[in-house]
Amino acid sequence: MFHGYLPMILDGLGVTLSVASVSLLVACVFGMVGALAKLSASPGLRWGATTYTTVVRSLPDILLMLCVFYGGQIMLNRLADAQGWGYIDINPFLAGTLTLGFVFGAYLTETFRGAIMAIPRGQIEAGHACGLSRMQVVRFIVLPQMVRHAIPGFTNNWLVMLKATALVSIIGLDDMVHRAGLASAATREPFTFYALTGAIYLAVTTVSILALTALERRFSRGVRREVAR
Amino acid sequence: MINWSIIVETFPAFLEGLQITLILLVISVAAGLVLSIPLSVARASDNLWLRTPVWLFTYVIRGTPLLVQLFIIYYGLPQFELIRDSALWPYLRSPWVCAWLAFTLNTTAYTTEMFAGAIRATPMGEIEAARALGLSRFQVFRDVFWPGAWRRALPQYGNEIVQMMHATALASTVTIVEILRVARDVYTNYLVVPESFGMAAVFYLVLTLILTRGFKMLEKHYLRHLDPAASAAPAIPRTDKAPANA
């Protein structure tokens, strides 16, 4: 049915999923730093974080990706020329994951900020009163509780980011969409292969939704539900 | 640092790209709005046979990347002889129609879910009161139901329009010369990033700013009755600071 191209496409799914998971890690780092900066007492940090989230959320992700890819290439070339290294190609995997991480870090900043703010202030004060350090308060009081509040926003962002991974095919990464293009060209059946790719994406989204709903339930164990009354 | 002569030279091309971006945005959003009103009513309905097909449509569209949808339509449909022989073929071979189709399907799916949510959030008492006044089903929908749902959905709808504006950048992958395609062409010709992608970024930033401001004003107009400061005499001076415990 797929002229023997199915294994190649499924291999591409591996690329897509590794792009997605590495981007998610990067996004979590950016998001956490952004959220803490937005909630910090320093006006400079708050201003920086606000600029970051506003600018990133005002631009199409594909534009940012091309910016990082081509801009990075030019900077790398200049550096290589100055150091006499010869020509270096920018790695599309690196460019793609860094951009997606940077972009979705801005969205996660808001998610994490909201989740932290949902923790009663008194608990943090109590932590300080018990003599915990700032780091300990974050580790033992803030982080475990913010997970529950962050999961719905996190689920949303993960789903959007998963779909945004399709963009890495534009900067030449050999992901599922790119391979579907190759298989289409070889077999002259573009509909078959792009529809297959779409179906695989849908399967991954569905599994994600089921898994994250289960996770949300797990982290909400022992939490009284207001609606149930 | 910045080569201003390139900017001056390519600026008219960017303005044309802006025009194309706006046309793509307006025609997709307008079609999406018209389609999503009846679909959202079906989606929020109690009738399983009405609700399920719409749910399936929004689930599939929202679960797959827009880029893949665009490729399925633009590269994929010509695979079938039935389509190449049909009367629609002269339209379907145009990247414009394909992009418009993909964007419309996409925004329709998201808007439908959004409106359906707003419809479900309608207080039953409002409907009962309107029915008790003797309004017909259509009048209830037009005069009570929809204005309320629209107001509830407005903030989210503004976000959707901004997202859609950013999504039009994908049209650059099917040979449509909107803002991003202009930037990519400028990059190919001059191999400069600030003057190409940076310039496009400025255009998108300004567009985003205008759209968000516009929707803020619409919200002010439509949600005026919800703003305590606007309806009552402000006894306490308003500050924009959030309360410490929020």
Whether the CB-CB separation of B17 and B177 falls below 8 Å is answered with yes
Choice among A82-91, A168-177, B135-144 with the minimum mean pLDDT: A82-91
Confidence (pLDDT) at B184 = 95
Do the domain assignments include residue A92?
yes
* Portion 123-162 of B in contact with A at CB < 8 A: none
Which tokens hold the place of B125? 């008492």
Q: Is the pLDDT of residue A223 over 80?
A: no
Determine contact: B55 vs chain A, CB below 8 A: no
Confidence (pLDDT) at B78 = 87
Percent of chain B whose predicted confidence (pLDDT) is above 70: 92
Do the domain assignments include residue A113?
yes
Query: Interface pTM (ipTM) of the complex?
Result: 0.88
Q: Quick one: average pLDDT of B53-79?
A: 95
- DSSP-assigned states of every residue in A77-130: HHHHHHHT----PPPHHHHHHHHHHHHHHHHHHHHHHHHHHTS-HHHHHHHHHT
Domain encompassing residue A122: 19-173
pLDDT digits (tens, 9 = 90+) for B194-241: 999 999 999 999 999 999 999 999 988 888 877 666 555 545 555 555
- In the structure, what pLDDT confidence band is assigned to residue A229 with cuts at 50, 70 and 90? very low
Q: Do A59 and B246 touch (CB under 8 A)?
A: no
Size of interface A-B (CB pairs under 8 A): 107
Q: Do B205 and A71 touch (CB under 8 A)?
A: no
Q: Quick one: average pLDDT of A92-110?
A: 93
- Closest CA in chain A for residue B184: A66
Nearest Cβ partner for A198 among B64, B75, B169: B64
Q: Do B205 and A63 touch (CB under 8 A)?
A: no
Choice among A2-16, A74-88, B167-181 with the minimum mean pLDDT: A74-88
Residues of A in contact with B204 (CB under 8 A): 58-60, 63
Do the domain assignments include residue A130?
yes
Confidence (pLDDT) at A79 = 86
Choice among A83-92, A117-126, B38-47, B204-213 with the minimum mean pLDDT: A83-92
Do the domain assignments include residue A77?
yes
The CATH number linked to A124 is 1.10.3720.10
- Domains located in chain B, CATH noted: 4-124+131-224 (1.10.3720.10)
Q: Is the pLDDT of residue A69 over 70?
A: yes
Percent of chain B whose predicted confidence (pLDDT) is above 90: 64
Nearest Cβ partner for B201 among A59, A159, A198: A59
- At CB < 8 Å, which residues of chain A contact B? 55, 57-63, 66-67, 70-71, 74, 117, 121, 159, 163-167, 169-170, 177, 180-181, 184, 188-192, 194-195, 197-198, 201-202, 205-206
Do the domain assignments include residue A189?
no
Name B94's Cβ contacts closer than 8 Å, sequence gap at least 6. none
Do the domain assignments include residue A126?
yes
Q: Is the pLDDT of residue B246 over 50?
A: no
Please state the domain count of chain A. Answer: 1
Most confidently modeled of A30-34, A121-125, B133-137?
A30-34
Q: Do B187 and A70 touch (CB under 8 A)?
A: yes
pTM, to two decimals: 0.88
Compute and round to an integer the Cα radius of gyration of chain B: 22
Confidence (pLDDT) at B149 = 87
Name A162's Cβ contacts closer than 8 Å, sequence gap at least 6. A20, A201, A204, A205, A208
- In the structure, what pLDDT confidence band is assigned to residue A228 with cuts at 50, 70 and 90? very low
The C-alpha of A205 sits at a distance from chain B's nearest C-alpha, in angstroms, of 6
Residues of A in contact with B166 (CB under 8 A): 59-61
Do the domain assignments include residue A106?
yes
- In the structure, what pLDDT confidence band is assigned to residue B169 with cuts at 50, 70 and 90? very high
Confidence (pLDDT) at A90 = 82
Do the domain assignments include residue A199?
no
Q: Mean of the per-residue pLDDT values for chain B?
A: 89
Determine contact: B69 vs chain A, CB below 8 A: yes
